Amino acid sequence: MNISIIGGGYVGLVTGVCLATLNHTITIIDIDEAKIDAINNKTPSIYEDGLEQILQMHVGINLTATSAYVSIQTADIIIIAVGTPPNPDGSANLAFITAATDNIGESLATAHTVYPIIVVKSTVPPGTTKDLVCKNIRKKNPLLQFGCCMNPEFLREGRAIEDFIHPDRIIIGSTDQKTIAKITELYKPLGAPIITVDSTAAEMIKYTSNALLATKISFSNEIGNLCKALGVDVYEVMKGVGLDHRISPHFLDAGAGFGGSCFPKDVSAIAAIAKKHGVIPTLLEAVLQVNDLQPLRMIKILSAHLGDLKGTRIAVLGLAFKDNTDDIRESRSIPVIAMLLEGGAHPVLYDPMATENMKHLFPQAEYAPSAVSALTGSDGCLVMTEWSEFATLDAEFNLMKQRIIIDGRHILKIKDAEGICW
C-alpha cells in the first residue's frame, strides 16, 4: 500500500519504519525540516533500538520524509501521528490534530485517486476521531468519500519496534466495513488478535490501558512505602502477589515512579475528561499525587544520612525516564535534580543516552562522562534509571567520600544500597 504518515515524531517514525519493513511505500510528513533531513539522511533524531538500522535499509527505497502533503492524494492509508501535549489543566491539546486534518482536507479536496482511509494513531480524548477528525476533513469537501478510524498504538519506548512487530492486540475503531477490511489487511502479517470497536471505544481503550498501568505502579509504590516502614521487602511481597493470574507480575516494581510521554499525560487527560463530565476522578488524582511525591522521598532519605545538603556533591545516575531511550519527558530525575539545586547541593549527572537532552533543562548542573566520574568524590549517589550498566557497579562506589547510595529502581546488586521502598 501507499501510506502517508502525518508526524515524524516518536510514534510516526517508528510506525513508518516498521510498515516499510512490511514492504509498504511510506511517506512521512512533518513541518520540522531538521527532522525531515535527519530521516532522509538515515540518522534519526531519537534513539530507539533498531531504528537506525531499518532507516539504513529503507530510506530512498520505500521510505522518505517531506513537508509536502501531495503524497496523501494517492495514499491508500493516511495515518495521523502528531502530538497531543497537555494543556495547563491536564486536558489534551488538539491543536496539532486540527492542523493536520485541515491540511488533509484541503489536499484531498483538490485531488484524490483512491478511497483513502484516515487513521488516527495519536492519543486523543473519546469522540475526537468522530467529532473532530472526520468532520474537519469533510468540511473541505462534503462529497469526499473516505474511511476514518482510531487505531491506538501501544509502544514501549526502548522496545517500540519489537512491540510493533509483535503486538499483544490490534484495536480498529470504526464501524465502516471498507475501513475495517483495509486496516485488517494492513496488520494481517503481524498475526495479532484484532478487536473491532467504534472509534470512541478505541480512544477510551488507549487511555484506560495507560491509566491502569500507571495505577499499578503508584499502588506498588504506596505499598512499598508501607513495607519500608514495616521492615518488609516489597519485592518479596509483590512476587507473591504477582503470581496470582488475575493480577500478573507486570508493573508491580516499586520505585521512583513513572514518567515518559504517555502515562503522566494520559492519566491527567482522562482525569480532566472525567471532571468535564461531572465525574470525580478520585483514584486517578491519587495515582498522580503518589507519583509526584515518590521521587522526593529519595531526597528525604539522602538528607537523613547527610543532614543539610548544601555544599554536598551528589551523583545522579540516570536521566532518561527509563532505560534504552534518550527521552527525559516527565523523568523522575527532574524533580530530584531541581530539589538538589534548590537545597544548595552540587549534583553531578550521568546518563548513557540522555545527557544532551537534560542539559536544556539544567544547564547549570555538572555532567559527567561516565558513572565512575560522577561517583568520584561524591557525598551521596541517587540511582534514577534502570540502565543495565548500573547493575554491575560495586567497587566504583568506593570512589565516593562515603558509600551512601539510594537506589530508586531496585537495580543494584550490592547489599549496602538503600532503596526508596525497601
Q: 343-394 pLDDT, tens per residue?
A: 999 999 999 999 999 999 999 999 999 999 999 999 999 999 999 999 999 9
Same domain flag for 336 and 264? no
Same domain flag for 174 and 224? no
Same domain flag for 162 and 308? no
262 is catalytic: yes
pLDDT of residue 110: 83
CA triple 251-256-257, angle to 5 deg: 50
Same domain flag for 278 and 329? no
Identity of the amino acid at 5:
I
CATH code of 306's domain: 3.40.50.720
Same domain flag for 178 and 268? no
Q: Which residues contact 59 (CB under 8 A, 6 or more apart)?
A: 39, 40, 42
Same domain flag for 318 and 373? yes
Catalytic residue among 18, 134, 149, 262: 262
Q: How many Å apart are CA 19 and CA 27, to the nearest integer?
A: 11
Is residue 133 within 8 A of residue 146, CB to CB? The reply is no
Same domain flag for 161 and 179? yes
Neighbours of 286 (CB within 10 A): 14
Residue 115, classed as helix, strand or coil, is coil
Same domain flag for 287 and 303? no
β-strand 194-197 against 63-66: which pairing, if any? Answer: unpaired
Is residue 401 within 8 A of residue 378, CB to CB? The reply is yes
Burial of 108 (0-12, 13-18, 19+ CB in 10 A): buried
Domains identified in the chain, total number: 3
Same domain flag for 115 and 6? yes
Render each residue's pLDDT in the chain as its tens digit; 422 residues: 999 999 999 999 999 999 999 999 999 999 999 999 999 999 988 899 999 999 999 999 999 999 999 999 999 999 999 999 999 999 999 999 999 999 999 999 888 888 999 999 999 999 999 999 999 999 988 888 999 999 999 999 999 999 999 999 999 999 999 999 999 999 999 999 999 999 999 999 999 999 999 999 999 999 999 999 999 999 999 999 999 999 999 999 999 999 999 999 999 999 999 999 999 999 999 999 999 999 999 999 999 999 999 999 999 999 999 999 999 999 999 999 999 999 999 999 999 999 999 999 999 999 999 999 999 999 999 999 999 999 999 999 999 999 999 999 999 999 999 999 98
**Domain termination residue (choose one: 293, 327, 351):** 293
Q: How many Å apart are CA 383 and CA 386, to the nearest integer?
A: 8
Same domain flag for 21 and 169? yes
Q: Which residues contact 178 (CB under 8 A, 6 or more apart)?
A: 115, 117, 147
CATH code of 218's domain: 1.10.1040.10
**Domain termination residue (choose one: 197, 223, 247):** 197
Listed in sequence order, the DSSP H helices in 78-231 are: 95-110, 128, 135-139, 160-165, 177-187, 199-230
Is residue 199 within 8 A of residue 173, CB to CB? The reply is yes
Q: Does pTM top 0.75 for this prediction?
A: yes
Q: How many Å apart are CA 9 and CA 6, to the nearest integer?
A: 9
- CA 330 to chain centroid, in Å, comes to 9
β-strand 313-317 against 25-29: which pairing, if any? Answer: unpaired
Is residue 318 within 8 A of residue 387, CB to CB? The reply is yes
**Residue-number span of the structural domain to which 288 is assigned:** 206-293
> 308: which 3 cell numbers?
543539610
Pick the closest to residue 267 from 251, 249, 248, 282 (CA basis). Answer: 282
**Domain termination residue (choose one: 140, 175, 197):** 197
Give the largest Cα separation in the chain, rounded.
Answer: 74
Q: How many Å apart are CA 108 and CA 131, to the nearest integer?
A: 19
Same domain flag for 117 and 256? no
Same domain flag for 327 and 345? yes
Radius of gyration of the chain from its Cα atoms, rounded to whole angstroms: 23
